[in-house]
Structure formats: C-alpha cells, structure tokens
Structure 1
Amino acid sequence: MKIHNPFRVALVATLGVGVGLLLIGSIQALSTILLYVGTALFLSLGLEPIVGWLEKRRLPRWAAVLVTILGVLAVFAGIILAVVPIIVDQIVQLIGQIDVIVQTSNLDDIVEQVRQWVQTNFPGINVDQAWQYVQNWYTSLDVGSIGGEIGGSIITILGTVIAGFGGAFIVLILTIYFTASTPSLKSAVYQLVPASKRPRFIDLAEQIVDSVGFYVIGQISLGVINGVLSAIFLTIIGAPFPAVLAVVAFFFSLIPLVGTLTGSTIIVLTCLIPGLGGGGGLFGLQSPTLALVAAVYYLVYMQIEAYIISPRIMNRAVSIPGAVVVIAALAGAALGQLLGALVAIPVAASILIIYRQVIIPRQNER
C-alpha cells in the first residue's frame, strides 16, 4: 500500500497515541472519583429492588424513593452515632495494647505460653523444631522499630478513618442521586437503542438491573448476619474488642468466596494474641482456648452460610456456575481490587443473561 502523505499519517498516529496516553492519565488521576461513582451506582442498583417493592405496595415513585433514602440515611446516622465511637475507642485500645506488648513485654514468654499449651493439649506434636524456627525469626526482627511504628501510627489511622468517612459521605450523596434519577437515567440509555430493538433491549436491561440489585442486597444481608452474630458470639466468649472484630466480619463478608474465610482468620488470630483480652464473657476463656473456640464457631458458621443462609438469600439472583464465580472474582480483584471483586460477579451474571437469552437463541435459529 502506497502512502501518499507520510507526514500527515505520522502526525495523525502521533496525535492518536497522545490522546490515548492523555485518556489513560486522566483515568488514573480520576480513579478515586470513578471509584466513588462506581460504588454509588452499584449501591443504587441494590436499592432499586427495595424501591420497586414499595411501588408494588401502591406507593408513588417519589414516595418509595423518599422512604428508601430516609431508611439509608437512618442506617448511616445510626452507624455513625452508635457504632463508630465504640469502634474508634476499641481501635485505639487495640493499638495501645499491641504497643505495650511489643515495647514492654517479653515476647519469648508469650510464645512460650503458647508452646506449653500446645504440648499440654497435643502431646503427640513435636514443637521444638518449629519453636527454634520461631526464635530465629523473632531475633531477626527489629522489635523496637516495630513498636515505634505502631505507636506512631495512631494519628495516621485516625486520619484514614476520617478520610474514609468523607468518602463514604460522598458515596452516600451520589447513591441518593442515582436512586432518585434511575428511571430518567435508564430512559436516556434506552433512547440510544434503535426503536425496532428497544423492547428486547429493555427486557434484558431490566433483568440485569434486577439481578445486580438482588445480588447487592443479598451480599449486604450476609454481611449483616455475620456481623451481628459475630458481635453476639464474641461478646459472650469474652473476645477482645468485639465491636471491631464484628465490623471486620461484616466488611469481609461483602467479598465473594474468600471474604468470610479471611475475616474469620483475622478474628481467630486476634483472639490468639495473649494480653489483648480474654477472661471475660460468660465462660472466662483465655487465649489460646479462646481462639480455638472462635475457630470452631466460624468453621460451623461458614458451613451454615454456604449451604443454608446464602442459597436462601441469593435465590432471586442469577445462578452462576462455581468456576465462573471463581474466575470472575479473581479477575475483578486483579482489575479493581475490592470494588472489582464485588462488581465482578454481577457483571458475570449479566453476561450469562445475554449469553443465554441472546447468543444461544440466535445460534439455534441458524
């Protein structure tokens, strides 16, 4: 192929590359804002089934949106007024306890207690060699600098918490706006589709919106159940900082597949640390017995959640094969971290709807 004007072609190609780099840089610069918008849109789709349920109870659209928004605001205000002060106080206590343990305690004595407990309860296990590895690893650490970093990170953590609540407030405002304007937004999107194909497109879009909405509600419900049950259980057994650990259980339950397991592991490991608590509750359990009881509870809970709670809550969402769930969650986490992992499964469900109702019927007609 003969190029008649090489300079013009090179200029256009250079400008194209420059525009592409500019777009990539703009996306990176606006990543936080895009994260807020994506989260708010995701949550607004989760609120849409609630608005639809209220509309079926003969409430007008504006009243259903108002009731839903007031409910969200009430939950948000309740979390701030009731839960946040307790969580912040317990986080400060937790950091202070860890700082005291690292700076003033003999960690060899603490680990020796764990070693003796293992030998007493599991006499068949030879822990001497493992203990030697632990000692060698511990002596290689600069404990003093670690303690200084932990003690000096309190202000940073508090600043991060404040910034997080600022971002949560922005997401809340955007969620309210998207929820109130969902019909107009959908109508604007539908107008872009040719009139001959618009009814079919609207039908598929509504199915996708319903699927995403039920998934969001189901995932949040699982998180609330795990958080509430964790708060009750950890308070009964006298675990350290039950409010903080209950919040950990709630947020990690929002992550598909590995969220509950990861949150449970963090809680059990926290209960395993001597000096952070224990001896309270109804049974006066001490670490590491406290951690063992917590581990048994979460093993049982994960089975109940997987086979009883989750199927009942997610029964209205689109059924997705297990392999697709794993691949979608991993790909979403790699591309968008936590939000990507949360959004990946509804996106996979949407693709499955298109695959089953559009691609397969067209192939069968040929």
Structure 2
Amino acid sequence: MKIQNAFRFGLIGTLGVGLGLLILMSIVTLSTILTYIGAALFIALGIEPLISFLERRKFPRWAALVTVLVIIIGAFTALIWAIVPIAVGQASQLVQGVVTWVQKGDAQKWFEQLQRQFPTIVNQDNINNVTHWLQSNVGNITNGILQTGIGIASGIFGVIIVIILTVYFTASLPSIKRASYLLVPASKRARFADLADQITDSVGKYVMGQVSLALVNGALSAIFLTIIGAKFPILLAFIAFFFSLIPLVGTITGSVIIVAICLLSGWQTALAAAIYYLIYMQVEAYVLSPRIMNRAVQVPGAVVVIAALAGGSLLGILGALIAIPFAASILLIIKQVVIPRQNEL
C-alpha cells in the first residue's frame, strides 16, 4: 500500500510539473500574440473615455464607437498624409546632406581634427582594425540588415493585427466587463465592479493624457524648430511626438536626437534647440503633466521610475507604457482593499 501511494504521489507530482512546464512554454511561444492582445486592450481602454463622453451626450453606443473610430482613423490618415511625404523628403535631404558633406571633404577635415585632438584613439592602426573587422563580418552585417527588414515587415503586420483587435475590444468592452464580473462571487461582485471601473477609467485617462502631452510636444517643436531655421522641422517634430508617447524617458531621448540632428544646421541652432528642450522639459514636468495627468493616475515619483524601468525591461516600449497605470491599479487595490481589511483585524 505504501508503494502504491508513493507511486501515485510521484505520478501526480510528475504530471503537475509537466503541466506547469507546458503552460510556461505555451506562454513563451504565445508571447507575441499576448503582446498584441495587451496592446490592443490598452488602446481600447484609452479610447473608452471618448466613447463614454459621447454616450453622456445621448449617443447610442454603436454611434459613439463609429464616430470615435472615424475621427481617430481620419486624424491618423490626415497626419500620415501631411507628415510622411514631407518627412520622407526631409529624410532624403538629410541623407543627401551627409553625402555632400563627405564629398566636399568636410568629413575628412573633421576626421583630421579628431586625429589631432585624440591621437591615441583615432590613428591608422585602429582604422585598419575596424576595416578588417568590417570585412570579416560583412556576412553577419548583411544578415543583420535582412533580419531588420523582416522585423519591420513583422512590425507592420503586428500593427494591423493590433488595430483589428482594438476595434473588436472597443466594441465589446462592456460585455467583456460584464462577463468578467460574473466570475466573481455575488457577495463581492459590486465591490469588484467598482474597483474594475476605477482601474479601467484610470488607464483610459492615462492614455489620453500621454497622447495629449505628445501632441503638445510635437506641435511646439514644429513651431520652434521652424522659427530658428532648423533643417527638417516636420521630421524632427514627428520624432518629438513619437518619443513623447514613451513615459519618463521618451521626451529626453527624443530631445537628444533632435539636438544632434540640429548640428547639421550649425552649432548655434543646436544650442538654441538644446536650451528650448531643457526649458520645455521643466514646463512639461511641473506645469503640463500635472494639469493633464492629475485626473488619470496618482502615483508617487519613485514608484513611477521603478514601474517604468521594470516594465521597459520586461516588455520594451509596451511595458513602459502600461507600467504606470498598472502600478496605479495596484496602489488603488492596496488603498481600497488591503488597508481597510487590515484595519478590521
């Protein structure tokens, strides 16, 4: 009997471990799909405040959904139609400017100046070593370029999938909520529904706030860079908008890239851009962000930094985007569930 019980225990334990490993392997295999689902759900929650706003204005749910989608798709199409041709043209000018810079001999002069200032680093031996490394790794470099092209194609496919999932999630978000609430015991369902609504509202307002900050940065960048005569102002404004969507480090990263590109217009232009972005980051941190985000998420600064770093390490840009509202959700649960329960003990 003891041997039989031991065999049964070992068999059940082995099956349990195997099932656990199977689940983990399935999650890893489906990580890309899960990322698409998470991104689509995140965007759907961001669109929900606009739909709720129209519903409060006596719009039917379907009419509010169609109106919001038409406005968003129309604005995105208009933005692409207005920016992409200019950005592509300015990017071509940027490449042509670099080629001209090399052909005129300015690159050689710059290289000779580097040799005079850093003779131990920029010398013929190091140049020969770099040239030899490039020649010996040309296959790997070509393969890397090919993989980059495949990655871009996969990214475009992923964007299409996310858009389709976003439409479905946005249309069925109320029914998804109701189905989720039914999984909770009836005695706790009302409290769970209240917390879930607060969390989803917080996420939606956070998404809208982050997009609003990015639009402000992009518009102001386009105006200022045009005024100071920087080259490629529309392209740089698009860079400012895109990076501002990334919380915490996006604005400063985009600003560094923009200032570096402004060097093509002269050091005076780059200095003016650097001073502008230093001032703008202070205004965004202490004026714009508190006013726009005060109704979205209320998270201490240290938690914001930790959450953004952890989310970025785990899921990249998507992780950095959802980390702050996720942290706000955890804090909300702690304040409204954990702490009151502890006070009752």
Q: What is the TM-score of this pair, normalised by structure 1?
A: 0.81
Show the 5 A alignment for 1:164-179: 164-179=155-170
Provide the C-alpha distance between the structure 2 equivalents of 1:44 and 1:20, rounded to a whole number of angstroms.
31
Which residue matches 1:206? 197
2:83–2:235 CA contact under 8 A, matched in 1: no
Identify if the C-alpha distance between structure 1 residues 179 and 141 changes in structure 2 by more than 3 Å, giving closer, same or farther.
same
Could you tell me which of 322, 343, 350 is aligned with 2:322? Answer: 343
User: Which deviations, in whole Å up to 9, do the C-alpha atoms of 1:220-243 show, x marking residues without a partner?
Assistant: 111111112112222332323323
Percent identical pairs in the alignment equals: 56
Q: Take 2:93 and 2:146, find their aligned partners in 1: how far apart are those partners?
A: 13
Whether contact under 8 Å (1:239, 1:290) holds in the other structure is yes
Q: Give the superposition deviation at 1:356.
A: 0.8
Report how far residue 141 of structure 1 moved: 4.0
Counterparts of 2:86 and 2:149, CA distance in 1: 14
Q: Paired residue for 1:266?
A: 257
Instruction: Give yes or no for contact 2:102–2:108 (8 Å, CA) kept in 1.
Output: no
SS of alignment partner, residue 239 of structure 1: coil
Give 1:172 shift. Answer: 1.6
Supply the distance in 2 between the matched residues of 1:92 and 1:18 (Cα, whole angstroms). Answer: 55
Q: Distance in 2 between matches of 1:248 and 1:269?
A: 12
Deviation at 1:174, TM superposition (A): 1.3
Answer whether contact 1:211 1:318 (CA < 8 A) is retained: yes
Closer/same/farther in 2, CA of residues 6 and 46 from structure 1, 3 Å limit: same
Gaps of 5+ in 2: none
Work out which of the residue numbers 310, 313, 316 in structure 2 matches 1:331: 310
* TM-score between the two structures when normalised by the length of structure 2: 0.86
Aligned-partner Cα distance in 1 for 2:146–2:237: 23
**Pair 1:42-2:36 in alignment:** no
1:45-89 deviations in Å (ceiling 9; x for gaps): 011111111111121222211111111221232233332233334
Any conservation in 2 of the 1:218–1:314 contact (CA below 8 Å)? yes
What's the counterpart of residue 91 of structure 1?
91
Q: Is the 8 A contact 2:231 2:262 kept in 1?
A: yes
Give the 3-state SS of the residue equivalent to 2:187 in structure 1. coil
Cα deviation digits, residues 122-160 of structure 1 (max 9, x gap): xxxxx976x4466359746439959x9999999987776
Distance 2:27 2:41 in 1: 18
Matched to 1:330, the amino acid is L
Is 1:249 matched with 2:228? no
Paired letter, 2:309: L
Aligned to 1:189: 180
Q: 3-state SS of the aligned residue for 2:298? A: coil
For residues 133 and 231 of structure 2, the distance between their equivalents in structure 1, rounded to whole angstroms, comes to: 24
1:281 counterpart residue number: none
2:35 alignment partner AA: L
| Structure 1 gap ranges (5+) | 116-126, 279-286
Residues of 2 paired with 1:356 and 1:99: CA distance?
59
Equivalent positions of 1:109-148 (< 5 A) are 109-110=109-110, 131-132=118-119, 135-136=122-123, 139=127, 141-142=130-131, 145=134
Q: How far 1:182 sits from its partner (Å)? A: 0.7
Asked whether the 8 Å contact 1:249–1:263 carries over to 2, the reply is yes
Query: Is the 2:51–2:65 Cα contact (8 Å) retained in structure 1?
Result: yes
Query: Cα–Cα, structure 1 residues 221 and 150, in superposed 2: closer, same or farther, change >3 Å?
Result: farther
**How far has the Cα of 1:28 moved from its partner?**
2.8
Aligned to 1:294: 273
CA contact 1:95–1:151 (8 Å) conserved in 2 = no
Instruction: Give the C-alpha shift of residue 29 in structure 1.
Output: 2.7
Task: Quote the Cα distance in structure 2 between the aligned partners of 1:304 and 1:214.
Answer: 21
State the superposition RMSD in angstroms.
Answer: 3.2
What's the CA shift for 1:260?
A: 0.6
1 CA distance for matches of 2:6 and 2:259? 67
SS at match of 1:318: coil
Larger helix share, 1 or 2:
2
Cα distance between partner residues in 2 of 1:142 and 1:60: 66
Cα contact 1:44–1:175 (8 A) shared by 2? yes
The one-letter code matched in structure 1 to 2:43 is: L
**In structure 2, C-alpha distance between the alignment counterparts of 1:5 and 1:357, rounded to whole Å:** 46
- For the structure 1 residues 84 and 257, does the alpha-carbon distance in structure 2 shift closer, same or farther, using more than 3 Å as the test? same
**Partner SS for 1:181:** helix
